[in-house]
Structure 1
Amino acid sequence: MFDIITRRDGNVKNDVLSGITVALALVPEAVAFAFVAGVEPMIGLYAAFMMGLITSAIGGRPGMISGATGAMAVVMVALVAEHGVQYLFAAVVLAGVLQILAGVFRLGKFIRLVPYPVMLGFVNGLAIVIFLAQLGQFQVLSPAGTVEWMQGSMLAWMVGLVALTMAIIYFLPKLTTAIPASLVAIVTVTLLVHGLDLEARTVIDFVRDLLPAEQRESATLAGELPSFAIPMVPLTWETFMIILPTSIILCLVGLIESLLTLSLIDDMTDTRGRGNKECVGQGVANTVNGFFGGMGGCAMIGQSMININSGGRGRLSGITAALVLLGFILFAAPLIEMIPLAALVGVMFVVVIGTFEWASFRIIRGVNKEDAFVLFLVTAVTVIADLAIAVVVGVIVSALVFAWKHARHIVVHSHIDNDGWKVYELDGPLFFGSVSHFRDLFDIEGDPEHVVIDFNKSRIWDSSGIDALDSLADKYEAKGKKLHIRHISSECRGLLNNADKFVEINVHEDPRYRIMSDELG
């Protein structure tokens, strides 16, 4: 329905215009996530500016937008509540250092281990989370101080303006692609609301509803440049132990969300980002955040999709978004404050429609039930808990499913060679899941004095496989027979400590295995 992803080549005009569009969409989410974390709105806006600027300049995925995110904000709540915002700044600095180390040690490559069903679940789950987050804009603060759903004409205008925004985004590209449809939609709806004095909530109304009653009248998004300050915490081991757990979780959540978003944009734009460089970019951005009063963050899939859909492909798009956001904070806060929430909700609804992998419903009918289960599981956990937990759960379940399905994939072909030795040619992996079947493949009683296991088409993957091999060697020795092993890889030889006296190795014919290349990281 919506052409959320276009494949136009990036250029300066597209990057600048899409950056402006993204900046408008960053404001309410940065403010909302600041309140989730229990900090002031300006801390969220500073985070959106610094994360967006630094990751766009030195990160590994041009066109991807970073800022303050809900996944990171949720992790911060307990630390802020118990120890204060200065400990949060210190935790963000440490999280940034850990992310830099992850990039230096080239750990970004491991995102390739995330299975496709987990990726689908991640995308669908985030689309649902974005959708549910927008429903909060249909609530208002009653005179009694309670939150309630919109009713009457206010609700009607909200729904109508959201629909108008979505219609502009859908139909305008059919007429022209000179200007991002999302930007046109936001400007059009803003002019319409204020020109006709319609009953519609604006960004500043949203901010006021989140503040205590005594602060609502003076609420503003105007601010000044962030300034450097070392977090005011004791430089002690106790402080380190207080912030370390939060920093580790922030590091992992930020990298997982950023690298999965990077992979998603890679697929959608037929380009390739650099995961390890993005780890360093995210780390530097978070470190700077901690020293300049920001709450840190990571990649934002919603704003990234807005950027891609608006034609933003280069680093300039993210840099523009960050600088325009800073310009709004310093010079044009009233312009941001007057934007109707309906316009931003409409833009995000289009993002939801474009982000959700509707083809997954068709895919489910064509894949096995295990992959379908993983897809639904990751989607559900993403919505109920958070992204990091969902991805970890999905990877673990996928690995267990893989192990179960391959547990009986080890087979053997046997023959008697010219010397009268019986040769068992293994085919398949020897690991914890297959050792039970492995033991049943041999005829210890009926085998001759010398028995050979040929690993030319097999490999020992773990200590369970070594133990099974050692146990088999003991059984042959108890019968007065010798077990020989050939074509074992050099990586496996070091594991054969207990069975070394039974091992016969043909070095020249041994296969060579290599660890996955770091070149593409």
Structure 2
Amino acid sequence: MFDLIRHKTASHRADLLSGITVALALVPEAVAFAFVAGVEPMVGLYAAFIMGLITALIGGRPGMISGATGAMAVVMVALVAEHGVQYLFAAVVLAGLIQVSAGVFKLGKFIRIVPYPVMIGFVNGLAIVIFLAQLGQFQTPDANGVMTWLPQNQLILMLGLVALTMAIIQFLPKLTTAIPSSLAAILTVTLLVTFFNLDTRTVLDFLKSMSGNDNATIAGSLPTFSIPAVEFSLDTLYIILPYSLILAAVGLIESLLTLTVIDEMTGTRGRGNKECIGQGVGNITSGFFGAMGGCAMIGQSMININSGGRGRLSGITAALALLAFILFGSTFIEMIPLAALVGVMFMVVLGTFEWASFKVMRKVPKHDAFVIVLVTIVTVFTDLAFAVFVGVIVSALVFAWEHAKHINVEISEDQNGWKVYKLNGPLFFGSVAEFLELFDAKSDPQDVIVDFQNSRVCDHSALDAIDTLAERYVGSGKRLHLRHLSNDCKELLAKAGDLVEVNLIEDPHYKVADDKLDS
């Protein structure tokens, strides 16, 4: 996976240059997501700066880039449209508090339950989403505000510049790695367009078309502290809480999955719980400084890693460079051709998409291949968080179904003439029905042994099934002997009580997933 990585080691120089490259690509992304959320462009730019800086300083994954994202912007739009931007800021603060709580209570570890097929579907889906988002740069609104493709001459020129950008990124590392190839490509195409006065769209053109304002600019001042202007009441909480919960969940899922992807790319391991806290503090700060908040950005993180950014300095540089562009360098940023930035993002798509999944799907079980395709499609047509939930649920159901079929017994007779059922396979909610059908209480002899040495009692449904089995034998006037049960199982076998004999000598020690033990 991710075979387009150009740099394998970290250095301060590489972090600085890759940070500048990321900052250049952040500008149109932040502006676009601000318009998606229905807020001013500067609200998105401030979010990119604040989220990028704070997560780089205290987050759990050096080299990962955070900022305003589309996944969170689509959640915000309804709140902004109905209640205004101040309620958005309040919701972002509350979402940040929820994320910090998730980190404090160490909930970041649960990202480990996401199966690998879901991860593949996640990166494939995001790659497609990133690609589709770039197609909008080849369109412009007509007199009625309807998006139409660029005129043929402009379209051909833009495609040519995109191809040139991608060629530089692909082949420059074969000649030198002194400068990140993405940065070199952006500078080269910008100089080419400026020197020859080529008629192609720039960042400024994009900003004007998105805002409908010919005086639009990314120039601005420092963000200022301000408490969200909302009434502090239960009514306000009732309005923002649903949005905050969704924003917190979407932000953490995207951030922790991106962290996992970056871990695989770099061969290192980030700290999920620390990243939850970093994301939370970033969103809290965003809400108090007039920014829309955000989470980790897989596209910008890929640019950073492929450009050599490994340490926290790369994220810090990206954030500070973005702020410098807002304060001092807006003119330069606004003249960058969109084609250069589109070319960079197309290379991100090529590096993000798991091309080997086409071969993998012919070798892995059909249900894993189905999950890969399902998560990819759901990611493209809905949103990331929903896609991951769907993928995890489907994978869990398939896992339960497959393991439910693996339970069986070996029947024998011991030296006392007692019938012995030696159980094989896990006993859990999915296999209890099959388990109960393995026994014939009416036809069995007076004494029956159920040996759990090769089995595992996993949950309360399993315990209830054992109780039910015991009741059947007791009801038939027969004795049931249960062997190799853990202490937890014995403690929770409440229905049969003293009527069930348990072997106390050979019982193993393991925990059963049941809330009664914690009550």
TM-score by length of 1: 0.95
Single out whichever of 1-10 and 486-495 deviates more from structure 2.
1-10
Partners of 1:367 and 1:267 in 2: how far apart? 20
- Counterparts in 2 of 1:509 and 1:129: CA distance versus 1, 3 Å: same
Q: Look up the match of 1:305.
A: 302
Secondary structure in structure 2 of the residue aligned to 1:366: coil
Match for 2:188: what amino acid? T
Work out whether residues 108 and 259 of structure 1, in 8 Å CA contact, stay in contact via their aligned partners in 2: yes
Q: Which residue of 1 aligns with 2:159?
A: 159
Choose from 251, 258, 261 the match for 1:261: 258
Alignment of 1:120-159 (within 5 A): 120-159=120-159
**Distance change in 2, residues 1:16/1:491 (3 Å):** farther
Structure 2 counterparts to residues 67-466 of structure 1, below 5 A: 67-212=67-212, 216-466=213-463
Q: Which amino acid aligns with 2:80?
A: V
- 3-state SS of paired residue (2:124): helix
Does the 8 Å CA contact 1:422/1:447 hold for their aligned counterparts?
Answer: yes
Deviations 1:368-417 (A, max 9, x none): 11111111000000000000000000111111111111112112223333
Q: Give the Å deviation of 1:479.
A: 0.9
User: 1:39-50, aligned counterparts within 5 Å?
Assistant: 39-50=39-50
Deviation at 1:118, TM superposition (A): 0.6
Q: In structure 1, how many angstroms separate the alpha carbons of the residues matched to 2:31 and 2:124?
A: 25
How many residues are aligned here? 513
What CA distance in whole angstroms lies between the structure 2 residues aligned with 1:458 and 1:58?
Answer: 45
| Percent of matched pairs sharing the same residue | 69
Partner Cα distance (1:452, 1:2) in 2: 54
Report if the CA contact (8 A) 1:98-1:283 is conserved. Answer: yes
The residue number in structure 1 matching 2:17 is 17
Counterpart in the other structure of 2:517: none
- Give the SS at the match of 2:492: coil
> Does the Cα contact within 8 Å between 1:423 and 1:454 map onto a contact in 2?
yes
Q: For the residues of structure 1 that align with 2:490 and 2:44, how far apart are their CA atoms? A: 54
Which digits, 9 at most, give the CA deviation of each residue in 1:24-49, with x for residues without a partner?
00000000000000111001001000
Q: Distance in 1 between matches of 2:412 and 2:259?
A: 51
Distance, in Å, in 2 between the alignment partners of 1:221 and 1:383 is: 30
> Structure 2: how far apart are the matches of 1:508 and 1:231?
65
Deviation at 1:494, TM superposition (A): 4.2
Q: Residue 233 of structure 1 aligns to a residue in which SS?
A: coil
Ranges in structure 2 where 5+ consecutive residues have no aligned partner: 514-519
Residues 152-189 of structure 1: per-residue CA shift (max 9 Å, x gap): 21111100100000000011000001100000000010
Question: Which residue does 1:59 correspond to in 2?
Answer: 59
Hey, what does 2:516 align to over in structure 1?
none
8 Å CA contact retained: 2:8, 2:266: no
1:37 aligns with 2:37: yes
Task: Give the conservation status (yes or no) of the 8 Å contact 1:484–1:502.
Answer: no
Code of the aligned partner of 2:107: L
Maintained 8 Å contact 1:54/1:281: yes
Q: Which moved more, 1:343-352 or 1:106-115?
A: 106-115
Which stretch shifts more, 478-487 or 326-335?
478-487
Task: Tell me, in whole angstroms, the C-alpha distance in 2 between the residues paired with 1:34 and 1:91.
Answer: 16
The separation in 1 between residues aligned to 2:67 and 2:111, in whole angstroms, is 21
Paired residue type of 2:279: Q
Q: Which one is further off, 330-339 or 344-353?
A: 330-339
Structure 1 Cα separation of the partners of residues 403 and 183 of structure 2: 51
Per the alignment, do residues 508 and 57 of structure 1 end up closer, same or farther by CA in structure 2, a change over 3 Å counting?
A: farther
SS at 1:57 equivalent: helix
Aligned equivalents of 2:13, 2:417: Cα separation in 1: 78
Q: CA deviation at 1:224?
A: 1.0
Counterparts of 2:489 and 2:58 in 1: how far apart (Å)?
A: 40
- Structure 1 portions without partners, runs of 5+: 517-521
- State the SS of the aligned residue for 2:184: helix
Q: CA deviation at 1:241?
A: 1.2
SS of residue in 2 equivalent to 1:136: helix
Distance of aligned partners of 1:2 and 1:477 in 2 relative to their CA distance in 1, 3 Å threshold: closer
Question: 1:3 Cα shift?
Answer: 5.2
User: Do the aligned partners of residues 2 and 382 (structure 1) sit closer, same or farther apart at CA in structure 2, a change above 3 Å counting?
Assistant: closer
Match of 1:501 in 2: 498
Alignment partner, residue 480 of structure 2: 483
How far is the alpha carbon of 1:145 from its aligned partner? 3.6
Code of the residue aligned with 1:90 in structure 2: it is A
Give, as a single letter, the amino acid of the residue that structure 1 aligns with 2:216: A
Alignment deviations for residues 252-297 of structure 1 (CA, whole Å, 9 cap, x no partner): 1111111111111111111111111111111111111111111111
Check whether the contact 2:428–2:457 (CA below 8 A) recurs between aligned residues: yes
Greater displacement, 434-443 / 366-375: 434-443
Bigger shift: 143-152 or 89-98?
143-152
**Counterpart-to-counterpart distance in 1, 2:505 and 2:282:** 50
Determine the C-alpha separation between the residues in 1 that align with 2:110 and 2:3.
Answer: 31
Distance 1:402 1:197, change over 3 A: same
Query: Is contact 2:2-2:265 (8 Å) kept?
Result: no
- On the 8 A contact 2:6/2:173 being kept in 1, the answer is no
CA–CA distance in 2 between the matches of 1:275 and 1:491? Answer: 31
In structure 1, the residue corresponding to 2:439 is in which secondary structure? Answer: coil
Q: 1:251 to 1:492 in 2, by over 3 A?
A: farther
Bigger mean CA offset, 176-185 vs 397-406: 397-406
- Write the letter of the residue equivalent to 1:16: L
Which residue, 452, 456, 465 being the options, matches 1:468? 465
Cα drift, residue 514 of structure 1: 5.9
Q: Name the Cα RMSD after superposition.
A: 1.7
The answer on whether the counterparts of 1:4 and 1:305 sit within 8 Å (CA) in structure 2 is no
So what's the TM-score if we normalise by structure 2? Answer: 0.96
CA positional deviation for 1:508:
5.5
Amino acid aligned to 2:348: V
| Cα distance in 1, alignment partners of residues 484 and 130 from structure 2 | 53
- Residues 503 and 57 from structure 1, CA distance in 2 versus in 1: closer, same or farther, beyond 3 angstroms? farther
Distance 1:209 1:354 in 2: 30
- Tell me how far 1:453 sits from its aligned partner: 1.9
- Between the aligned partners of 1:144 and 1:476, the Cα distance in structure 2 is 79
